[in-house]
Structure 1
Amino acid sequence: MFFRNLTLFRFSPAVADDLHRLDQVLHDHTLRPVGGLEMFTRGFVPPVERGDEAPLTHSVAFFTLFTVGGQDKMLPASVVNGELQRKVQKITEEEGRKVGGRERKRIKEDLFNELLPRAFVQESRLSGYVDTRSGWLVLDTASRKAAENALTQLREALGSFPAVPLAPEEGPRVLLTDWLANGTLPAGLQLGDECELRDPASSTGAIIRARRQEMDSEEIKEHLRNGKQVFQLGLVFDDRISFVLGEDLVVRKLKFLDVVLDAMDDSHADATAEADASLALMTLELERLLGRLAEWFVLPRPENA
């Protein structure tokens, strides 16, 4: 249940009012098995398994959890090209002629259509939740592409869902660099034990990745004095959550610390009660963290839909 990464979007109060119908509309966009000649399918699956009639959302207070499922055909190009090479070689040997480019392309397309129905199917799950009180869409992924795909599924189901990427008024890279260089972290925030430093003037410049290292060490300070800036920084919030924050404001390696996990009650009556407790604990902890991120980087909530 606990998320490991956070890609964030924001939406207005008017959009939040429309999300009461989320469970209803998702039923028309459930995941179906991938067809014989399809490469992939996407759709919604129950975020909490409760048998055949499990709902497609799970809500606690202002937070509604959902899960986007996927089925992808795995047909490596090397497999198709290997079959193509054998087919071309057979024609050459049996018919004594050279296979031209146009014929080669046609043979490859035929092989692809022949092999696709027999390809291995890989399943995936991406969970997220909407916070209608504060206007956050929170997706458990560090991949921008995966996040955009999940957002597309929500927009198709709802007809419209104008959630927008974060638009910080404070430059994240500048602020992260200042925190590391000068130790001027906001109250409740501490440095973790990893960072990624880069030369911002060059896309091909040196990249320094430090893990399990004291962030106030002379080695780190020397890199900063030489002009490198922070692109990712490990942080600890209120001794309750550790994470790595990127200059793209994606939260990676999210981990709830023992003081949070110890608050979990193991004596739940069933899977629904356990899901309620986990979702409530996670979302309330993240609500505090996201609220502070909004303060630190000035992340305004859209006022209009």
Structure 2
Amino acid sequence: MFFRNLTLFRFSPAVADDLNRLDEVLAEHRLRPCGPMEMSTRGFVPPVGRGEEAALTHAVNACTWLTVGGEDKLLPAAVINDELQRKVQKIAEEEGRKVGGRERKRIKEDLLNELLPRAFVRNSRLSAYVDKKHGWLVIDTASRKSAENALSQVREALGSFPAVPLAPEEGPRVLMTDWLANGTLPAGLALGDEVELRDPGSATGAIAKCRRQDLDSEEIKEHLRNGKQVFQLGLVFDDRMSFVLGEDLVVRKLKFLDVVLDEMGDSHQDAAAEADASFALLTLEIERLLAKLEEWFGLPRPADA
């Protein structure tokens, strides 16, 4: 259950107190199956276990894990257009007339109504957790749209959840460029093997993407001398995790290294105990990273109104 990406939001201590209602309110917003004429549904599903009896939250210390589930009908546009063309051609051949735009629209709507109940359904799951002690909402996605959708689900369930995007006091792009150009990384942080460099002042938007690359190489230095800045940077934190940090402060490609995985072990007696151990380890490691991101970039926690 280790998260692979981290999109982050912050909330105040007063908001944290309101999160004690999560167990109660999520039950009213459980994921339900798509109806015959629905394209999609969203709701909460158990983070651990399955079935109606499974809890919709899983808490360890001050962190509460929740999962937004989704069902989406798969009805490709190409399928609809092919069927529409077949019907239009049949009308032309049998009735000897052209089908106008208004009639094509009506036929297409009829096709949707006919095909939708028979469409395949794709299930999705998006994990997140709230750290009530430190005021973080952590969502396992690199997509801003998916993160906002998950946040909206929590807001709908609670009635209000004023979590806000990060507002760094230090410019991430400038700071990461300095790290790479001058080797001034904070203690405990080391360069990885991936970087995306862009020329922010270029009309052509010149981009250099390097993977499995020595970031101290002359090639990288030449890009920096030519005015490119860091938009994504591969990093290793305390030899315990590797990731790619974006100028939007989204953590991508998060990977826990062997030293962390060895600490978890494999002696758990059941799935619940394993989930507890994994989630506790996950949140502890991420808590350490977020504390450093807060320090390096200046990420203040919102104050109570």
TM-score, normalised to structure 2's length?
Answer: 0.98
Q: Give, in whole Å, the separation in 1 of the partners of 2:202 and 2:2.
A: 37
In structure 1, the residue matched to 2:94 is 94
In structure 2, the residue matched to 1:7 is 7
Q: Give, in whole Å, the separation in 2 of the partners of 1:204 and 1:292.
A: 35
Residues 31 and 69, structure 1, Cα contact 8 Å, conserved in 2 = yes
Amino acid paired to 1:72: D
In structure 2, the residue matched to 1:240 is 240
Amino acid paired to 2:211: R
Residues 231 and 246, structure 1, Cα contact 8 Å, conserved in 2 = yes
Partner secondary structure for residue 195 of structure 1: strand
Q: Does residue 57 of structure 1 match 2:64?
A: no
Moved more, 204-213 or 32-41: 204-213
Q: Give, in whole Å, the separation in 1 of the partners of 2:84 and 2:50.
A: 46
* Backbone CA RMSD of aligned residues: 1.0
Q: 1:20 to 1:4 in 2, by over 3 A?
A: same
Task: For residue 217 of structure 1, report the CA deviation from its aligned partner.
Answer: 0.2
Q: 1:16 to 1:54 in 2, by over 3 A?
A: same
Q: C-alpha offsets along residues 56-108 of structure 1, whole Å, 9 cap, x if unaligned?
A: 00000001000000000111111111001000000000000011111111111
In structure 2, the residue matched to 1:128 is 128
Q: Give, in whole Å, the separation in 2 of the partners of 1:201 and 1:153.
A: 38
Q: Give, in whole Å, the separation in 1 of the partners of 2:77 and 2:201.
A: 37
In structure 2, the residue matched to 1:224 is 224
Q: Give, in whole Å, the separation in 1 of the partners of 2:104 and 2:2.
A: 50
In structure 2, the residue matched to 1:115 is 115
Q: Report how many residues are paired.
A: 305
In structure 2, the residue matched to 1:258 is 258
Q: Does residue 280 of structure 1 match 2:274?
A: no
Displaced runs of 4 or more, over 4 A: none
In structure 1, the residue matched to 2:18 is 18
Q: Give, in whole Å, the separation in 1 of the partners of 2:253 and 2:220.
A: 21
Q: C-alpha offsets along residues 191-224 of structure 1, whole Å, 9 cap, x if unaligned?
A: 0000001111246422111011100100000001
Q: Where does 1:118-157 land on structure 2 (aligned, <5 Å)? A: 118-157=118-157
Q: Does residue 103 of structure 1 match 2:86?
A: no
User: Where in structure 1 are there 5+ consecutive unaligned residues?
Assistant: none
Partner secondary structure for residue 104 of structure 1: helix
Amino acid paired to 2:213: Q
Q: Give, in whole Å, the separation in 1 of the partners of 2:202 and 2:111.
A: 44
Q: Give, in whole Å, the separation in 1 of the partners of 2:118 and 2:176.
A: 49
User: Where in structure 2 are there 5+ consecutive unaligned residues?
Assistant: none
Q: C-alpha offsets along residues 242-277 of structure 1, whole Å, 9 cap, x if unaligned?
A: 000000000000001011111013111211111110
Q: Give, in whole Å, the separation in 2 of the partners of 1:204 and 1:29.
A: 47
Partner secondary structure for residue 262 of structure 1: helix
Partner secondary structure for residue 196 of structure 1: strand
Q: Give, in whole Å, the separation in 2 of the partners of 1:203 and 1:278.
A: 47
Amino acid paired to 1:100: G
Q: 1:28 to 1:192 in 2, by over 3 A?
A: same
Q: Give, in whole Å, the separation in 1 of the partners of 2:31 and 2:92.
A: 45
In structure 1, the residue matched to 2:39 is 39
Q: Does residue 292 of structure 1 match 2:292?
A: yes
Partner secondary structure for residue 277 of structure 1: helix
Q: Give, in whole Å, the separation in 1 of the partners of 2:50 and 2:212.
A: 41
In structure 1, the residue matched to 2:77 is 77
Task: For residue 120 of structure 1, report the CA deviation from its aligned partner.
Answer: 1.3
Q: Give, in whole Å, the separation in 2 of the partners of 1:90 and 1:286.
A: 60
Q: 1:52 to 1:269 in 2, by over 3 A?
A: farther
